[in-house]
Amino acid sequence: RLFSSEKLTQRDHSLPNPSWSKDLRLLFDQFMKKCEDSSWKRLPSYKCESSQRVQDFKTHFLDPKFMNEQTVHGQLFTRSFEDGLGFEYAMFCNDAEKRIVCLFQGGPYLQGVPGFLHGGAIATIIDATTGMTALLAGGIVMTANLNINFKRPIPLCSTVVLNSQLDKVEGRKFFVSCNIHSVDGKTLYSETTGLFIKLDPDKRLK
C-alpha cells in the first residue's frame, strides 16, 4: 500500500474532501471564482510545511535544543485530525485589502458544550486566521494577545465564515480584527481583536 509519510505531509488540506458540507463546498466554489482575476488567492495548507518562511524561522529563531526526536515529528495542530473530525477549513487572502476569509467547518471532535464547538477550538481557528493575516503582512510573527468576545455558540459541524483584517501596524506590532458569521450572514458568533509581534531577529525564542 502506498502510504509514505512524505505523501501525507505534502497533501494540500485546503481543498474539498468528502467530509465537507454542501455549504462549505458552495462557499469554496464562490471564492475560487473570486480567485480568477487574482484579487483573491487560495492559501494552500499542509500538515508540515517546508516553505522558506519555516526554514527562516528554524534558522533564526529556534534554539537547536528544541529540535529533539519528538519535535521533528511536529505537525500543524489544525491539520492533525482525520478528515472531517476536527478543523476543516480553507483560507483565501486579498493582498490589496489585507484581509483573509476562512471558511470553516468544526467537526465532532471539537465539541465543548454538547452540540456546540469548544471555545478553545474557536480560539484556535481565530488564531490561525488572524495569525496568517499578520504573517502575510509582516513575515514571522507570534500571537501576543487575542481578545475574543463569544456572542453566540457555534453549532458543531456547521459551516461558518471568519473575516480577518489587518487594522494597523506600529513598528513590530500588527493589530488584526476578526469576526465569525453564519453562512447567511445573519448570526454574529464572535468578535476578536489580536496583537501579533514580528519576531526580533536579534532574539532567539527560549
List interacting residues with ligand LIEI2BAZ (CB under 6 A): 49, 51, 53-54, 57, 76, 127-128, 131-132, 140, 142-145, 171-173, 195, 197, 199-200, 203
Which cell is 2 given? 502506498
Amino acid at 80: S
Q: What is the dihedral of CA 137, 188, 146, 171, to 10 degrees?
A: 30
Other CB atoms within 10 Å distance of the CB of residue 191: 15
The smaller minimum CB distance to ligand LIEI2BAZ, of residues 39 and 145, is found at: 145
**Nearest CB to ligand LIEI2BAZ, comparing residues 1 and 206:** 206
Catalytic residue among 23, 127, 167, 184: 127
Q: How far is the CB of 43 from ligand LIEI2BAZ (least distance, A)?
A: 9
Contact of 30 with 16, CB cutoff 8 Å: no
Q: Based on the residue annotation, tell me whether 167 is a catalytic residue of this protein.
A: no
- Among 103, 73, 74, smallest CA distance to 13 is for 103
What's the min distance (Å) between Cβ of 165 and ligand LIEI2BAZ?
16
Residue 3 near residue 69 (C-beta atoms within 8 A): no
Instruction: Please state, in angstroms and as integers, the Cα–Cα distance from residue 88 to each residue in 17, 113, 132, 143, 204, following that order.
Output: 9, 20, 16, 22, 33
Closer residue to ligand LIEI2BAZ in complex, CB, 34/47: 47
Smallest gap from residue 184 Cβ to ligand LIEI2BAZ (A): 28
* Residue whose Cβ sits closest to ligand LIEI2BAZ: 131
Catalytic residue positions, numbered: 127
